[in-house]
Structure 1
Amino acid sequence: MAARGVQVLSAWRLFTSVRASQVCRIPCVQLHTTGALMGASIEDFNNAKTQLGTLKKDPGNEVKLKIYALFKQATQGPCNTPKPGMLDFVNKAKWDAWKSLGSLSQEQAREQYVDVIKSLVTAEGPAVAASPTGSGEAFQSLLVTTEDGITTIRFNRPEKKNAITTVMYSELMDALHLAGKDESVITVMTGSGDFYCSGNDLNNFSEIPPEGFEKMAKDGGELLRQYVKTYIDFPKPLIAVVNGPAVGVSVTVLGLFDVVYATESATFHTPFSQLGQSAEGCSSYTFPKIMGPAKANEMLLFNKKVTATEACELGLVTEVFPDTSFQSEVWTRLKAYAKLPRNSLALSKQLIRSTEMERLHAVNDAEVERLMERWLSDECMQAVMSFFQAKSKL
């Protein structure tokens, strides 16, 4: 029962948020490489497959299903597989899209596939990779710069409210490791667009490894463990500039920052029990310590969303600034901090953190173990399904 429930949950997650490159990441039938096809050569077709993987924006489920169907029609011909069951949301939607192409020839499907990809690439414009100054490292989902003694790590998926993908988790760890070793005095984390970060991208659970759901949960748990560990061990002053709403893991790790500045319109939400899950980011320890058990329980157990002003009163946020002057006031202050002696700040921070280090690592381990259990539970599956069904009715 549990395995079937997780399978349905994963299918729903994939259907609601999967990226185009992941929808089409399927085994490719070997194509003949002689001659040109009707309107689109084999080279055009292969180039289009490559370009699909470079897209930064999600074109939407309708377009992604069309791309999938054209790819299957182009490489295998008309749909000839049994119709999936009603609860297999993803494969049923994909089967319907492929079946709808009817007797469209493989040559015509290849031509249409190339045309769709070309239109998406043209609409998106040239891709620009962001690099941290002097490091030579490029990131897909972050903007990382170093200037005036400040390394700034900026979530850069504004079209997805800066939700954290598996790739983004890895890039954030890489960026923090680099920032911890560079010559900057302080490190700042903030978001692009109107959101700070909307938390974990549920698409992270969409690709089921051949070993099964337990392997997926184990890999996800280890990634989260290492991610939180990076914050615990970070050697320099780490400052969050919360420019908008923050959700989930982007909130829970704030207890590991040294200073948190927020704009007045920011909100903070940790809807774990709503999704049948449990706290992470060491928040099961840091939140009660910062704001007291009763207030922490409102956020971590009962999903209470708090305003920036409330978060400041609770001690989670250091100071709140008016929306109109937020950026100017905060960055004036940060530039002043960056002029302080670099080693003095780092060593003082490490001294303060040293008394808590062992405890924080133990809490992180315990939270991850509990989350891995939650991810494989029927209760978690049912809660997430209910959440998405309610959201789809809005």
Structure 2
Amino acid sequence: MAGAAGRLARRWSWGALRSPVQVTCSQAFPLHMSGTAMRASQVDFENAMNQVKLLKKDPGNEVKLKLYALYKQAMEGPCNAPKPGVFDFVNKAKWDAWNGLGSLPKETARQNYVDLVSSLSSSESSSQVKPGAESKQGAYEFLVVTSEDGITKIMLNRPAKKNAISTKMYQEIMLALQAAGKDDSALTVLTGNGDYYSSGNDLSNFTDIPPGGVEQKAKDSVILLR
């Protein structure tokens, strides 16, 4: 069994995953069901496929199988290919991963593919701070803040939600700007991780209504924005 696993690891082509259209059809992997109200569009899906080609780190066979299965499900729906032979280890692993998604809708598979690629890209971006750049990540959950050569860079880091700004992110942005105002930075840059700078306010901000009601929420939001 160990020998078979070794052959699978050696034969799996990372290059093939980078061009998912080239590959042919374990376990049913747990899926992240996105909470975003807006489903990923075909453009989002195609952008995610391009992002996969730009990944610098091999995410490992399990993640690659999951990406493959979600890609096939999003493109073709439930697995419709004959099961490979027991000794065709690579194609059998792919088939098992795809077949394990069952009747998952194409739209959901597409969204999960986009979310997974975004999380992989986000992980790489967070770990690739340039040598000499001072990372200030410890204080932030949804930002990546670095300072280098007199420039502070504040990056919105919520790519799976298209960097929609939550109440917590507003608070973190204020902290980052205050910190930049006290150090020796001459310039502060605000940017976003992933394909989107920001889609604007996270609509879930408006679901948390305080005791004062909607009017109080509106007043608090104005103060926060200022």
Q: TM-score range by the shorter chain?
A: 0.3 to 0.5
Give the structure with higher Rg (CA). Answer: 1
* Alignment TM-score, normalising by the size of structure 2: 0.44
TM-score, scaled to structure 1? 0.26
